[in-house]
Structure 1
Amino acid sequence: MTAPNELRLLPWSGPEGKPCYLSTDGNGGYMSRLADNIEAVQLGTAAELLEEASDTLVDQEAGPEDLRWLAKELTGALRDVLRVATSRGQLLEVSEPHRS
């Protein structure tokens, strides 16, 4: 996924919440595959939460605790999806030729 000598933003944080990066010459390595798999899980979780949010918001019996839990989970999923989008956006910038 990454071009040679480029850093890939990984889908997890390091100590103190700092971003983690991977330097790789290709996408076939163990860490690249691990990152790809984790990104897929994160995106799948976000899709499931979106469905659950739709159901919860129309549920007249959903209480404040349900909505608070949903907001917390959606916040985490949005953080993960944003990290994936940022990482993939950086990869696109690296791999696409600049247009004038």
Structure 2
Amino acid sequence: MNNRLLPWSTPDGRPCYLIGDGTGYVSRVADNVESVQLGMALDLLGHVDDLLADRQATPEQLRYVVARMAEALRDVHRIALSRGARLPAAQADGSSPS
């Protein structure tokens, strides 16, 4: 049995974990959510490039895109932690990557 950090949290912001072998319904939903989050982060990078190239971008537009980037970075960081903790080396010695 593995302990998987899920790509969502509780309503009060605490992490959610799944205990299982990684083949069940919730694991597949989590894989799909991670895929969507990574795709959205990639799309956001394109918007950021466009906005940064626009010399008439307003401070409000830049603040908005930075806020969305922070959200995407949090999602990507959570995915990296979750996937890193499931690597064979991390499981063998009981540690998780920092």
The normalised TM-score by structure 1 is: 0.86
Residue in 1 aligned with 2:77?
82
Q: How does 1:3-14 map to 2 (within 5 A)?
A: 4=1, 6-14=2-10
Q: Tell me by how many angstroms 1:16 deviates.
A: 1.3
- Which residue is 2:33 aligned to? 38
For 1:21 and 1:91, locate their aligned partners in 2 and report how far apart those are by CA, in whole Å.
Answer: 12
Aligned residues: 91
* Percent identity for Structure 1 against Structure 2: 52
Paired with 1:11 and 1:60, the residues of 2 have a C-alpha distance of 36
Alignment of 1:57-76 (within 5 A): 57-76=52-71
Q: Deviation above 4 Å: which 4+ runs of structure 1? A: none
Highest RCO, 1 vs 2 (Cα 8 Å, sep ≥ 6) = 1
- Cα distance in structure 2, aligned partners of 1:55 and 1:91: 36
CA offset at residue 28 of structure 1?
2.2
TM-score (norm 2): 0.87
Q: Name stretches of at least 5 consecutive residues in structure 1 with no aligned partner.
A: none
CA RMSD in angstroms, aligned pairs only = 1.1
Q: Which runs of 5+ in 2 are unaligned?
A: 94-98
User: Shift of residue 15 of structure 1?
Assistant: 3.0
Report Cα offsets for 1:39-95 as digits up to 9, x if no partner.
00000000011111111111111101110110110000000000000000100112x
